[in-house]
Structure 1
């Protein structure tokens, strides 16, 4: 399988699924020069339901949300290249069986809209990034002006950014418009964003935020659509609490290793692009993800596509066996970070994040694994062996590539639209993880808790090359087994009592 060298494109080639009324006014996709027209409009819409505002509170509008129920099937290209539903869920996104923590796995529970804040950030030539407007006015948004406008964004026309702010997650859309103004030094830059306790549903407001940042650039100071949006979607915070909003069941009901589906607007999805970008190195990232390492991805702007890679890294560690991972640090995405997040990162033992700031490479105490484009490296001697791709890794990647080719063949020849590349890739790693942990649990519960080379091979690992990985895995997850090393030349090292 060829590895794509470009750090940009295909993932940004997307079309948001919106109502027909919205499609007629939809802005061009970023790859064709950005969604922002450089010509200012003479018309500044004031009605919150104006199509140019990208949001409507009426049923079927961009702002309306329906609960996801049942298990659907993926979409596939129609005869004209458009996606048509083939058993999709009510959102129209692809359902990954066994991966979602939403209502298809938990009947009677649905994730609701929980917008805790909406804000506008602008670049001021004298003060730098500032929050120019927000609702509610008393919410603490310290630092959000840097999270929602990535360092280096002045060099690009537009971007979108996922980030984490305390216990909340955010999505912001950024745009840069040339203006004939000496005061603004020839450019007006703004971001419009929202905060929520979960990143699962943030994608639903991408189209609205894109239209609103365009609106704010063309008609600064007109906030009525944002005010109406917040009033319609605002969360109800528990009184006397700590500001947390409960939007999902307790961890006893949901496997903490599972991650919700993240809507990817590009028809090919993000996981397939992610794997094609890294090639065989995906197996290296998979091991670091399972070991709950601190993974930091560097990339210059635009950062939206890199936020998707953060999410995909988390998906590599999915396990559906109950109880696995309950005793380890939760593997959650931080998405975009900057120097203002250094203090928060110092206390984190496990995370995946991305940044546009090169200075992070020098702060080696903040991360275990550093990724620059397709270069994966670690400064920790104990992790160096995991960077080497062994024969078992190549075999797994070969099987994954074969399965993908078979899937594409069945879609082309048989018209099979019951599964997608996203299903294939995510389920491949989850089944691989399940096989490893199921074997380890069975051995640990047996009368002879000895992990033999045969066990290791059955898990799809190399008894020698993956020994260090297995040792770390057993320690991280607290599994008590004895590992037999397949190395007859060293009798004294045949057994390693782990845990």
Structure 2
């Protein structure tokens, strides 16, 4: 058992014995190296931190936190901490871990992406069974024939929730650099684990895989940590949209239909893990009761060949990989994304790849809203809103609009979906007909679609 002092826990974790101290943890405002290229830094004038709701709080206080936040409290729940190294004779291997009896099978490959030997550093989000992981990788040149001129390690953690992993990015970065310089000194990692280890309920697994949908809108509006905008996937929505352009509407439809989406990219894979998270955000719905019977769109983050068996049983997911072999395994995915190229091998989904007039109008509106926001920030000094929130809420409101209209039609005396209804949902009656047919089937909505599919001459 590692003794803990009365000092702040973070100082204990990062206290590094001689010869070299670990770098001090920078403040959120000073962090620039963990955000994707061209991403904006959120200033200190951002929204207030999340206020957890407990049973002891006054009911009025609970109401002010927003709907759905009652009972949603992110606590430190680290179930494992580990060090992975690359051995020139044995390959990737777990060098050290706590607790010692934790099952880390496969983590040695998840925390070092295939092809990482070509880059200096990276960070990787991944899934391990019911847990989520974050690992920071670093590659340091050394004058050693045994190590073939390079020492490569990753330091990572496992948690029941991926939404709190971002908190420990700096610590993991510092520790992997320290492990490269001073291999075998694990006391800061042990202190970290003792301070943050999870105490899971004995009954059930007590796992939290994502923030409840009903809480998302309130959290987006008022409860994001400023540092989350830099280090957490939620801070990359605007870059995600800029990267894909109008193709974002194609990904939106596939995400809403709960398709299996696989994103390929060579290392570094950290920013691509952000794209996985953002793709899941496209399918957010805040209307109660919608989507209860459809598969959850689950982020797998980084995957490799060791995950093939697990993917064979998944009905809906978003993942990324650096291994080109997955492109040939078409039974594992519905949609394949290579750079900005979105494609599908399924004939029934080919029509969804086409950008129609309604898609262009939605993208125009989104771009216009973003420009207006940036203008208000620059001219009026508006610090109450940000681009990330705008993008997430844009798609949530679009999804709510669709399902609210469908629900009203289904509950009416004449449950017939007309072209006027489709236009009211912001969709193209002709171009989105196939999308609507699939949507009604996936979500089990009992309405009659009377829009004719135009015949080809």
- Give the TM-score of the pair, scaled to structure 2: 0.84
| Count of residue correspondences | 414
> Does residue 143 of the first structure (1) align with residue 106 of the second (2)?
yes
Equivalent residue for 2:275, pick from 285, 302, 309:
309
1:10 paired residue number: none
- Post-superposition shift, 1:248? 8.1
Partner of 2:31: none
Is the contact made by 2:213 and 2:285 (CA closer than 8 Å) also made in structure 1? no
Give the conservation status (yes or no) of the 8 Å contact 2:122–2:270. Answer: yes
CA contact (8 A) 1:370 1:377 kept: yes
Residue 295 of structure 1: which of 221, 241, 261 is its match? Answer: 261
Q: Residue 355 in 1 paired to residue 355 in 2?
A: no
d(CA) in 2 for partners of 1:259, 1:288: 25
Contact 2:401 2:425 in 1 (8 A): yes
CA RMSD of aligned residues (A): 3.0
Query: How much has 1:88 moved relative to structure 2?
Result: 2.4
CA contact (8 A) 2:162 2:209 kept: no
> What are the residue-to-residue correspondences of 1:30-429 with 2, within 5 Å?
43-45=19-21, 52=23, 54=25, 83-89=43-49, 104=66, 105-107=68-70, 109-239=72-202, 244-247=205-208, 255=214, 263-265=228-230, 269-429=235-395
Contact 2:137 2:154 (8 Å CA) reproduced = yes
Q: Name the structure 1 match of 2:56.
A: none
Change (3 A) 1:171 1:482: same
Kept in 2: contact 1:257–1:325 (CA 8 A):
no
CA distance in 1, matches of 2:219, 2:295: 17
Q: 1 or 2, which has the higher helix percentage?
A: 2
Shift of residue 106 of structure 1? 1.8
CA contact (8 A) 2:312 2:332 kept: yes
Asked if structure 1 preserves the Cα contact closer than 8 Å seen for 2:115 and 2:266, the reply is: yes
What SS does structure 2 have at the residue aligned with 1:333? Answer: strand
Deviation at 1:485, TM superposition (A): 1.1
Alignment match, 1:494: none
Counterpart pick for 2:432 among 463, 466, 473:
466
* Cα separation, partners in 2 of 1:246 and 1:299, compared to 1, 3 Å: closer
Evaluate the alpha carbon distance shift between residue 86 and residue 200 of structure 1 in structure 2; reply closer, same or farther with a 3 A threshold: closer
2:451 paired residue number: 485
> Quick one: structure 1 residues 280 and 259, their matched pair in 2 at CA, closer, same or farther if it must change by over 3 Å?
farther
Shift of 1:431: 0.5
CA gap 1:260/1:172 in 2 versus in 1, 3 angstroms: farther
Q: Secondary structure at the match of 1:170?
A: strand
1:453·1:486 contact (CA, 8 Å) conserved in 2? no
Partner of 1:228, secondary structure, is helix
Check conservation: 1:121, 1:130, Cα contact below 8 A: yes
What is the distance in 2 between the residues matched to 1:110 and 1:82?
24
CA contact 1:190–1:213 (8 Å) conserved in 2: yes
Deviation string 1:431-463 (CA, Å, 9 cap, x unpaired) is 000000000000000000000000000101011
Distance 1:238 1:317 in 2: 30
Stretch moving more, 186-195 or 262-271: 262-271
User: For 2:365 and 2:106, how far apart are their aligned partners in 1?
Assistant: 45
SS at match of 2:189: helix
Gaps of 5+ in 2: 1-7, 29-38, 52-63
* Equivalence for 1:33: none
One of 393, 396, 401 as aligned partner of 1:430: 396
- Could you report, residue by residue, the CA deviation over 1:374-428 in whole angstroms, capped at 9, with x for unpaired residues? 0000000000000000011001101111111111111111111211111111111
Query: What secondary structure does 1:433 align onto?
Result: helix
- Residues in 2 aligned to 1:287 and 1:82: alpha-carbon distance in whole angstroms: 30
Q: Where in structure 1 are there 5+ consecutive unaligned residues?
A: 1-18, 26-40, 46-50, 62-75, 92-101, 491-499
Return closer, same or farther for 1:137/1:436 CA change in 2, 3 Å cut-off: same
Residues 150 and 416 (structure 1), Cα distance of their counterparts in 2 relative to 1, 3 Å cut? same
